[in-house]
Structure 1
Amino acid sequence: MKKLLLSLVAVAAITFGANAQTEKGKIILGGNVGFNSTKVDGAAKADVNFSVVPSVGFFVGNNFAVGTGVGYNYNKSVSTRNQNEAFEVAPFGRYYVNLTDQFKFFGQLSVPLAFGTVKDVNTTGDTGAKLGTTTSIGVNVAPGFAFFPNKKVGIEFSVNGLGYENFTTKAENTGAKVKTNSFGLDANTFAPKLGVQFYF
């Protein structure tokens, strides 16, 4: 009887340890930061891409979190002669499945929304007049794995997965709109995302 009781306590402790990071009431903090600079021979200045989108989520149930990311994207290209700046909001839902004590599989559904402006860039790389506004609405489903070296930190490996985007540009002078719809699968295992999330 004593051995059975000790066995049940051990199993309960292992189960609790596996769910401690993703149990109901916990908070997840993370996000992404990106920077890229490309200089074309003969161009006056380099093309620059920058983004920062911190995110926060709350576990509304065991292994299920909802939250949002809020951030900023900047893209200036001398070669295409335009500059895009956008404010981004990206609500998400994420569900975890326990594989072992320290490894979990997760699937994330997000709805990124971005609202920005387009400006002219001249041949010397200087920003000029506003050309229009942009609106982007998307849906992404992304799978991934999380490794928990301790109860507060999760190291994640994920791919983009399945996505849809509706991108609209509205011209400043005429009000004319150009809409682009894209849908595709981008599960490129040769270009994965690696990230860190914090659990409280």
Structure 2
Amino acid sequence: MEKFLLSALVTGAIFTNAQAQIATGTTMMGGNLNYWGPTSKNDNNQAGYSSTTKNKQFEISPIVGRFIAENLAIGIDARFSFSKTNSHYPIFSSNYTFAGEYYEQIQKGRSINVGPIIRYYKFVSEKAAFYGQFSGGYTNNYISSYTSAFSNEGIYTPSTSGSTRSEGFYGQVSPGFVFFPINKLGLELYLPGLSYNRLIDKTDDSKRVDASLGANFGLRYLQMGAFFYLGRS
């Protein structure tokens, strides 16, 4: 009985406070800033080798939008992403024994996405709301790689390099949650959600079309952002 009453009170409070709105004509400005930099290492002390991979990725996503109806906004999203991966791993001989040499590979990338967004808010209290966002548009990516081999004594062998370019379009549906400490400032948590990409990949000597569908709902994909809501009273 106590649990029922508590649940009823919470539900009643939510519906009582769910009168907050974002009026037509409000302008939102802000975006998301993210950094990702994990390192993985695999040691094999018995064989006397180890492999290491270091990843760094920085992403900034400014968004400007305007509410064309109550709680409904349209706008422009421009996303810029820069990454670097440094891999260090052993070379094995034909019989799978350690050959005494290592590969070192450095891979750098950049990605640009630009396109319109549509966002709709559903308030659950005076200061909190869930939203759903659809975005889509043009994407352009570039990846370059440099690989070299060296022995335990530090002797390098000739290196190789290559690059890949791709461009096309993307579509994404993302869920999010926003908290308003004051009416004109929203602090957000959101997930990338469902995404679709159709790209034309161009390497130094080939070309192909690649289409992919992704679903990123795990907590490790959780990102943060902040927006100003100009004109909101």
Q: TM-score range by the shorter chain?
A: 0.7 to 0.9
Preserved contact between residue 32 and residue 224 of structure 2 (Cα < 8 Å): no
Q: When you count strand as a share of all residues, which structure comes out higher? A: 2
Equivalent position SS for 2:182: coil
Q: Which residue of 2 aligns with 1:198?
A: 228
Which residue type is aligned with residue 210 of structure 2? T
Change (3 A) 1:179 1:74: same
Which stretch has the larger CA shift, 59-68 or 47-56? Answer: 47-56
Match of 2:126 among 88, 92, 101: 101
- Structure 2 CA distance, aligned partners of 1:188 and 1:30? 24
The reply on whether 1:149 has 2:151 as its aligned counterpart is: no
Q: Which residue of 1 aligns with 2:198?
A: 166
TM-score scaled by length of structure 1: 0.74
User: How far did 1:190 drift?
Assistant: 5.9
* CA RMSD between the two structures: 3.0
- Structure 2 CA distance, aligned partners of 1:190 and 1:85? 21
User: How far did 1:38 drift?
Assistant: 4.2
- Structure 2 CA distance, aligned partners of 1:58 and 1:72? 22
- Structure 1 CA distance, aligned partners of 2:172 and 2:79? 17
Unaligned runs of 5+ in 1: 1-13
Change (3 A) 1:107 1:76: same
Unaligned runs of 5+ in 2: 1-16, 42-49, 88-104, 150-159
- Structure 2 CA distance, aligned partners of 1:78 and 1:190? 21
Change (3 A) 1:136 1:121: farther
Equivalent position SS for 1:111: strand
TM-score scaled by length of structure 2: 0.65
Q: Which residue of 1 aligns with 2:110?
A: 85
The reply on whether 1:26 has 2:43 as its aligned counterpart is: no
Deviation string 1:108-162 (CA, Å, 9 cap, x unpaired) is 10115321322222349xxx86623212522111122222121111122222322
Change (3 A) 1:47 1:100: closer
Change (3 A) 1:34 1:144: closer
- Structure 2 CA distance, aligned partners of 1:90 and 1:114? 9
User: How far did 1:93 drift?
Assistant: 0.5
- Structure 2 CA distance, aligned partners of 1:112 and 1:133? 17
User: How far did 1:96 drift?
Assistant: 1.1
Preserved contact between residue 73 and residue 87 of structure 1 (Cα < 8 Å): yes
Q: Which residue of 2 aligns with 1:187?
A: 217
Preserved contact between residue 133 and residue 170 of structure 1 (Cα < 8 Å): yes
- Structure 2 CA distance, aligned partners of 1:86 and 1:161? 19
- Structure 2 CA distance, aligned partners of 1:120 and 1:140? 28
Equivalent position SS for 2:84: strand
Preserved contact between residue 74 and residue 85 of structure 1 (Cα < 8 Å): yes
- Structure 2 CA distance, aligned partners of 1:108 and 1:114? 18
Q: Which residue of 1 aligns with 2:70?
A: 62
- Structure 1 CA distance, aligned partners of 2:220 and 2:53? 30
Which residue type is aligned with residue 194 of structure 1? M
